[in-house]
């Protein structure tokens, strides 16, 4: 495998929508997620919004910018309908094709991340349909996802820029289900559709990963020089011995997502020292230990935390979850800079025990000035972090 340390950023909300990052796309609807958006719009209007969004949100210019920040890779979340075979959703291989050409020109690698599955693998808004988590129980849809992976491998497997393919983002397992509190935090619009929603078992997930690996390498023809990436289902230690069982896997990477808001949920104190201590005491040793077993990347993380928001966000909940947000900044610009530079430094040090990281996210359209409740949420936006000297740019 490529031993280059990954210094990357996610292109989230481009091909997989998240309402909180892009509220205008959801204007005039009550939809909270990608699944319900087309049910509330005229098809031509839906198409116009989606196509305009995709043509504007990420362009050649952004690849030039990312490169200028000294980064070397982008992780691109794609939906299960990437090939356009699941109406009313609109496929996006043309956009992905363009991204590979931009990556070639600007010297970036691409990790394709299958971010959603039909009836969802996690029940999050970003899983496509809030409050529903049933994909793993639907054998036809599991098979469908495997065919998507195969087709991605066939189409992009021999592109120089391809770093690898992540088989499914954030499966919500028995390890994470209770903490994530999905059924409360993301209310299902249609309780009938949500019936049977529940966590994914690790045994099942292991079997799925084995199947996905073979489908990618064999049917998909994914060269061994390209990584197969597995998300850890929110428990990295759980995979300790997974690759030992004479599976013959080559070039596998484990992806773990670590957010300070999740640290807060498990009791990390909401102070600068608290964050620093948690990162050094929990994240760093975990990545160091597991990196002896397999390459580990932190495929999602960011500087966001409750201190920067000026309120306890109860695990990163926003006005969209009924939380209020601060009415005004509680920190001075200098205090914000100190806070974010501090958590950037400690996290980047922790990630350096592994194989690399991707910031979540490159860009947010969230407006902290003209819409109430969003103070502190700009820390999710790497562009704004760099513009405000919160995040260290290696390049200059």
Contact mark string toward a second copy, 245..284, x via CB under 8 A:
----------------------------------------
How many residues form the binding site for a second copy (CB under 8 A)? 45
Alpha-carbon distances of 256 from 149, 157, 181, rounded to whole Å: 20, 23, 19
Provide the angle, in degrees to the nearest 10, between the axes of the packed helices 202-214 and 139-156.
Answer: 40
Structure tokens at 54: 């995709």
Residue 132 to residue 129: CA distance in whole angstroms: 6
Q: Which stretch binds a second copy (CB under 8 A): 44-52, 71-79, 132-140, 201-209?
A: 44-52
Q: In whole angstroms, give the CA distance from residue 33 to residue 344.
A: 30
Is 332 one of the binding residues for a second copy (CB under 8 A)? no
Dist CA 336 CA 379 (whole Å)? 10
Is residue 24 close enough to count as binding a second copy by CB under 8 A? yes
Cβ proximity to a second copy: between 266 and 387 the closer is 387
Q: How far is the CB of 367 from a second copy (least distance, A)?
A: 5
Choose one: 50-58, 243-251, 271-279, 300-308; the region binding a second copy (CB under 8 A): 50-58
Q: Site map for a second copy, 68-107, x if CB under 8 A?
A: x----------------------------xx--xx-xx--
Told to check if 320 binds a second copy by CB under 8 A, we report no
Binding mask 355-394 for a second copy (x = CB under 8 A): --------xxxxxxxx-------x--x-xx-xxxx-----
By CB under 8 A, tell whether 27 contacts a second copy: yes
C-beta closer to a second copy: residue 77 or 123: 77
**Whole-number Å distance between alpha carbons of 280 and 203:** 31
User: Interface with a second copy by CB under 8 A: which range of 21-29, 108-116, 148-156, 312-320?
Assistant: 21-29
What are the angstrom distances between the C-alpha of 224 and each of 228, 240, 268? 9, 22, 40
The H or E element spanning position 75 is: strand 73-78
Q: Mark out the alpha helices in 258-304 (DSSP H runs).
A: 260-265, 272-278, 284-290
d(CA 21, CA 46): 18
Of 48, 250, 266, 327, the one binding a second copy by CB under 8 A: 48
Q: For residues 286 and 258, give the distance between their C-alpha atoms in angstroms, rounded to a whole number.
A: 11
Question: Measured between alpha carbons, how far is 37 from 219 in angstroms, rounded to an integer?
Answer: 34
- Give the nearer residue to a second copy in terms of CB position, either 41 or 297: 41
Nearest to 20 by CA among 304, 263, 264, 317: 317
Q: What angle do CA 123, 125, 128 make, to 5 degrees?
A: 80
For the chain, give the number of residues. 396
Helices (H) and strands (E) in the chain, counts: 14, 8
Q: What's the min distance (Å) between Cβ of 30 and a second copy?
A: 18
Q: Are 382 and 361 in contact (CB under 8 A)?
A: yes
Closer CB to a second copy, residue 64 or residue 266? 64
- Selected from 25, 145, 212, 261, the binder of a second copy by CB under 8 A is 25
Q: How far is the CB of 12 from a second copy (least distance, A)?
A: 14
Minimal distance in Å, beta carbon 46 to a second copy?
8
61 is an interface residue for a second copy by CB under 8 A: yes
Binding-site member from 42, 203, 241, 273 for a second copy (CB under 8 A): 42
In the complex, which residues of this chain contact a second copy (CB under 8 A)? 22, 24-25, 27, 42, 44-45, 48-49, 51-53, 55-57, 59-61, 64-65, 67-68, 97-98, 101-102, 104-105, 363-370, 378, 381, 383-384, 386-389, 396
């Amino acid at each position: 495998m490529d031993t280059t340390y990954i210094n990357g950023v996610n292109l989230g909300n481009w091909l997989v929508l998240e309402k909180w990052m892009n509220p205008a796309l959801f204007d005039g609807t009550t939809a909270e997620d990608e699944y319900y958006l087309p049910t509330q719009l005229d098809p031509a209007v839906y198409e116009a919004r989606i196509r305009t969004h995709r043509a504007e949100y990420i362009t050649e210019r952004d690849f030039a910018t990312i490169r200028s920040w000294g980064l070397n890779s982008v992780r691109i979340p794609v939906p299960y309908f990437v090939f356009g075979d699941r109406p009313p959703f609109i496929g996006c291989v043309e956009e992905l094709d363009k991204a590979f050409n931009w990556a070639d020109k600007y010297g970036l690698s691409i990790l394709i991340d299958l971010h959603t599955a039909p009836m969802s693998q996690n029940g999050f808004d970003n899983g496509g349909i809030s409050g529903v988590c049933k994909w793993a129980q639907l054998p036809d849809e599991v098979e469908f996802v495997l065919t998507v992976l195969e087709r991605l491998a066939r189409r992009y497997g021999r592109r120089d820029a391809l770093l690898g393919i992540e088989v499914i983002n954030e499966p919500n397992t028995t390890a994470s289900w209770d903490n994530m509190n999905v059924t409360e935090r993301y209310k299902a619009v249609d309780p009938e559709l949500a019936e049977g929603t529940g966590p994914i078992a690790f045994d099942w997930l292991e079997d799925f990963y084995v199947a996905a690996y073979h489908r990618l390498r064999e049917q998909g023809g994914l060269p061994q020089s390209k990584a197969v990436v597995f998300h850890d289902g929110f428990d990295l230690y759980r995979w300790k011995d997974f690759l030992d069982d004479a599976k013959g896997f080559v070039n596998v990477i484990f992806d773990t997502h670590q957010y300070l808001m999740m640290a807060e949920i498990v009791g990390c104190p909401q102070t600068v020292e608290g964050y620093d201590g948690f990162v050094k005491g929990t994240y760093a040793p975990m990545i160091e230990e597991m990196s002896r077993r397999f390459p580990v990347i932190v495929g999602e993380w960011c500087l966001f935390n409750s201190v920067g928001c000026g309120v306890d966000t109860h695990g990163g909940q926003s006005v969209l979850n009924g939380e209020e947000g601060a009415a005004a900044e509680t920190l001075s610009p200098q205090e914000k800079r100190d806070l974010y530079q501090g958590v950037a430094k400690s996290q980047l040090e922790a990630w350096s025990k592994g194989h690399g990281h991707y910031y979540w996210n490159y860009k947010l359209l969230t407006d902290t000035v003209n819409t109430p409740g969003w103070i502190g949420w700009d820390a999710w936006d790497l562009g704004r972090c760099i513009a405000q000297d919160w995040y260290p740019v290696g390049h200059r």
